[in-house]
Structure 1
Amino acid sequence: MPDKHSIPNNQGAWLKQLDAVRLPIPAERHLQVRRALGDSRRTIRDIADLIQGSPALALAVLREVNKRQNGLGDPAESLEVALTRLGLKNAEALLERLPSVPEADIPPALRQLQAISQHACQQANGLFASRLARLWQDIHWGSLLFLAPLWTLAAAHPRLFEEWERRVLANDEPPVLVERELLGTSLMPLCLKLAERWHLPDWIVQGYRLLVEDRRLLAKALHVARDTDHPLARQQRLDEDENLRRWLTQPANTIVLANGLALSSYHAWDSPHSMRWQRLTALYMQVELDELQQQVHQLAVHSARQQKQQDLWHPAEALLWPWHARRLGPSTETADAPTTQPATSDAVEWKALCANLLSTPSPFVNVLQLSSAARDAVVAGGMRRVMIFVADRTQSALLGQQGHGLSADSAGLKLEAAQSQVVRRLLAGAGQLRLSPANVAQFSPLLPGNLKALFPSEHLVLRSIALNGKVAFVLVADQDGLPLSDASLQIFGKTAQCIERALMLFAGRSARG
């Protein structure tokens, strides 16, 4: 479906178009807030808590209040202040003017960006709010709304967000060049102008000014933060630069740091971009990088638990992967499509099977259908012998459900956790074990005898796939005992990611059904 708006090619035209965009509100949240506004028993705090469940609605309220002030006085820095200034009747009238749309009909690009903003808010609250308790409202709302100018862009032109993601994150093209080609202008100055026009909280405007006008200062801070192995030398460099040292104490930096952490982790936790923000945040907080990373990862997991939209990506999922894995790779065509293809005639079939796994809504009626599709994708990816096990309800055994290239008596194979250390590890959480001649002597004695009889091989890969912290599937595969190349393992890993995503989509559909 084509975008509803023509694509401008200069900053002025973009400002005019994006300023006029009315962000859609999920219909269920729209109804809840409308009822709350008409309920005299609800307090301003109650209504504010309900509104913040829809970032677009929170933005609309703040924009409306600050527009009415027309730049006179300080902009409302929190939703409670905004509601108090606006009044409940005016808030109700504003709500009626906003489009109410079923959540499934809101562009995925917009919902994904808002999910990143909610992740950033979680990071900001967890890292900084307790340290700066007096400023927690500024931190909370500033971090949540920092990317708001981009929300309107994703709403009006969702394909541009997907194209930017593919080229900048997956193909590592320079952001400035991509933005000028796609938009006709640079993105950060456009965000700054929108933040100023909407009279967003001062910290948001300061953050964009840093990214646009004070990039040299930011670059110096990032350079100092990089020297994590020599804290004394790093501190001496800060002592020698009073301007930089003073900047590192400014509370307004917290919302830029939180959004930098959330947005960069969207691609990978250990990418150079993500590591730069982690080091800078550790320097700002005066903590060791390892300690900062532990906090950031824990907060990401907490944020993922609160995310109810199963079809969206959350960086916490990548914490279960091998550390150097990437959600996106070169030549990605869509946000969730596999990026490496089998070097066989099965490439087209493999890609189609993975696309079927990622279909929204989930096309599968039951787990048996899903595991059958998963087996076919693994086989099309180049594996010649495959068995997909499902975990039983007690998470104490694995039951063979789908096989390929194996003897007929493999159906119904059962692996007991009590009898194998490897099975216990596979059931403990998502993970992968690769058998090779280098480690087979170590791990072969720990494998169940019936599994070794089924796969008499020194080249084997076992991978457990979890849903909501519990293992659902275990994939066991090989290539008839032949050595597994790095390319084959990468394809297998990408297929497993698709299966994991398919499980999430299936679970979301089942919950709604």
Structure 2
Amino acid sequence: MPIETKLPAQVPSSLEGWVKLLDGIRVPVPKESHDRVLAAVNDNRRSLRDIAELMQDSPSLVLCVMREANHPANASMAEPAESLEVALNRLGLSRILQLMGRLPAVPADDIPPVLRQFLLISQHATQQANGLFASRLARLWQEIHWGSLLFLSPLWPLALAYPKLLDAWELRVIHKGEDAAEVEHALFGVRIMELCRAVALHWRLPEWVTQGYRLLLEEREQLAQVLNIARDPDALNQQHRLDDESGLRRWFNQPANTVLLANGLALSAQVGWDNPHLLRWQLLTALYLQTTLDDVQQQVHQQAAASARHHARHALFHPAEALIWPWEQRRPHPDMLTAPPPPAQDLERWRALCGELLTQPSPFSNSMHLATLARDALLACGMQRVLLLMLDKPNDCLRVQQSAGLPREAAALKVDLNASTLLQKLLSKASQLRLTPENHARFAPLLPTTLRALFPSEHVLLRSLALNEQALMLVIADQGGKPLADVGVQAFGKTAQCIERALASFANRNG
């Protein structure tokens, strides 16, 4: 069954809009897991506990069952089900069968990679929770287990619906260190933690899930106080300081905090084992368990390896992989890696297209025909987003001739030259500007906001093309926001030269 999610044209900007949207998205279930569970439900020899154990391999299936059991129309009790077994008991086998029939079951490899990565993080968090806390709090193991698995579940439908938004958040906040509040308001219109708490409350997820978000949103001052104590290198002094703050000690020692600690460890480990976010969660965990940081790090590494044995999947990153890397090495965001060279067939097509551009006399019937072939040549040389604009000198503006890899509305774009001194300079003569992280802050603000919105990247090429020393076209291109390889920049330059010569041939033909 294909994944079909109808999304609005615009990203929601309010908490209510996001909750409504995410509530209506069906998170897909791996078909293999779906079939195994369905067979168990139809087998009268299998107990509900057996069914619950089989469901553990599919976090999205667990979420569907918990949401169904805790829906106001189905929940016979005021309190939401805190464990999967309780949820299964509430629904009964016939209702479970009905639910299974409505779920979108697809092959695991067909589930979008950003969603699969988040599901893997949740499974890793559950392993950390079980290994670090469940044995010490055996009576509460179910609350710890299911709360840890479902803590990040409000992000699962978001990862399915808007994976690029989450990718952009990770790149800007985690890897580039931009202010989280500013980035989240720009991307989502709301804070991520507020959105997660609102969705968790709407779905009536286990109390330990919503309590974790409440701590992050409303109890950050207490968390900072505890972290300050956790940083004290003297373990005995730590305990004395906690004893002096009995209210703070009781607040921190709540069993529900294990869910947040486990997810903090799993989520921050995605970046690398040597990063300040992970160290903070390790220090807090060491204080909670009343042990040393070295001991916690050893246990966390062991649990990561155990999780990888059970949960690692092809094409997904598991932090256990990084345990054999140099300690200071971190996983780069895909958009921080230099774009790969185009495949051989694209390069062959690029050479052929450049040959057409250089043909004499000009084979083009009109300027649009020429611009179309120029766009195709730029794509073949490795560019992923391309905009070709022609100078409309009487109106002091640029009008789009061709575009690729950009929203449909880009085709109707008109850029006022009077609004940008940078564009005026570029069009004063044939010239090229390469935006990089080093000069982006200097040049990007000088570009019109419409162009910055189409190319939200620190790696962009802008080149004006001239005819008889008069610039008449502007080419803007990038490689999907990734750092530009030198070979890609060279290919862009050669393609621009071919387009410029094609413009000259075309003008002479019409002359």
**TM-score category, normalised to shorter length:** 0.5 to 0.7
Q: Which range moved further: 85-94 or 215-224?
A: 215-224
The answer to whether structure 1 residue 147 and structure 2 residue 152 are counterparts is yes
Who is 1:193 aligned against?
198
Larger-gyration structure (1/2): 2
Is the partner of 1:90 in helix, strand or coil? helix
Who is 1:419 aligned against?
none
Q: How does 1:88-487 map to 2 (within 5 A)?
A: 88-227=93-232, 229-328=233-332, 332-333=334-335, 339=337
How far, CA to CA, are the matches of 2:36 and 2:75 in structure 1? 30
Who is 2:21 aligned against?
17
Per-residue CA distance 1:264-309 (angstroms, 9 max, x = gap): 0010111001100000000010000000100000000010011252
- Percent identical pairs in the alignment equals 54
Instruction: Tell me which of 50, 55, 62 is aligned to 2:59.
Output: 55
How far, CA to CA, are the matches of 2:137 and 2:341 in structure 1? 49
The answer to whether structure 1 residue 80 and structure 2 residue 85 are counterparts is yes
Partner AA of 2:321 in structure 1: E
How far, CA to CA, are the matches of 1:323 and 1:25 in structure 2? 36
How far, CA to CA, are the matches of 1:16 and 1:4 in structure 2? 13
Who is 1:418 aligned against?
none
Who is 2:422 aligned against?
none
CA contact (8 A) 1:3 1:157 kept: no
CA contact (8 A) 1:120 1:143 kept: yes
CA contact (8 A) 1:65 1:76 kept: yes
Who is 1:385 aligned against?
none
Q: Which consecutive aligned stretches of 4+ in structure 1 deviate over 4 angstroms post-superposition?
A: 1-4, 350-353
Is the partner of 1:87 in helix, strand or coil? helix
How far, CA to CA, are the matches of 2:282 and 2:202 in structure 1? 31
How far, CA to CA, are the matches of 1:184 and 1:254 in structure 2? 30
Is the partner of 1:322 in helix, strand or coil? coil
How far, CA to CA, are the matches of 1:70 and 1:92 in structure 2? 17
The answer to whether structure 1 residue 35 and structure 2 residue 35 are counterparts is no
Partner AA of 1:64 in structure 2: E
How far, CA to CA, are the matches of 1:161 and 1:302 in structure 2? 27
Deviation at 1:100, TM superposition (A): 1.2
Partner AA of 1:295 in structure 2: Q
* Change beyond 3 A, Cα 1:316–1:73: same
Query: Which structure 2 residue ranges, 5 or more long, are not aligned?
Result: 347-484, 486-511
Q: Output the TM-score relative to the length of structure 1.
A: 0.64
How far, CA to CA, are the matches of 1:142 and 1:217 in structure 2? 22
Deviation at 1:73, TM superposition (A): 2.4
Partner AA of 1:28 in structure 2: E
How far, CA to CA, are the matches of 2:81 and 2:236 in structure 1? 41
Partner AA of 1:5 in structure 2: L
Query: Which structure 1 residue ranges, 5 or more long, are not aligned?
Result: 342-347, 357-490, 492-513
How far, CA to CA, are the matches of 2:180 and 2:209 in structure 1? 21
CA contact (8 A) 1:264 1:274 kept: yes
Who is 1:472 aligned against?
none
Partner AA of 1:115 in structure 2: L
Who is 2:375 aligned against?
none
Who is 1:379 aligned against?
none
Deviation at 1:240, TM superposition (A): 2.3
CA contact (8 A) 2:193 2:213 kept: yes
Partner AA of 2:129 in structure 1: A
Deviation at 1:174, TM superposition (A): 2.0
Is the partner of 1:318 in helix, strand or coil? helix
How far, CA to CA, are the matches of 2:242 and 2:116 in structure 1? 40
Q: How many residues of Structure 1 are paired with residues of Structure 2 in the alignment? A: 340
How far, CA to CA, are the matches of 2:312 and 2:324 in structure 1? 19
Partner AA of 1:270 in structure 2: D
Is the partner of 1:262 in helix, strand or coil? helix
* Change beyond 3 A, Cα 1:4–1:211: same
Per-residue CA distance 1:377-406 (angstroms, 9 max, x = gap): xxxxxxxxxxxxxxxxxxxxxxxxxxxxxx
How far, CA to CA, are the matches of 1:152 and 1:158 in structure 2? 9
Deviation at 1:196, TM superposition (A): 1.0
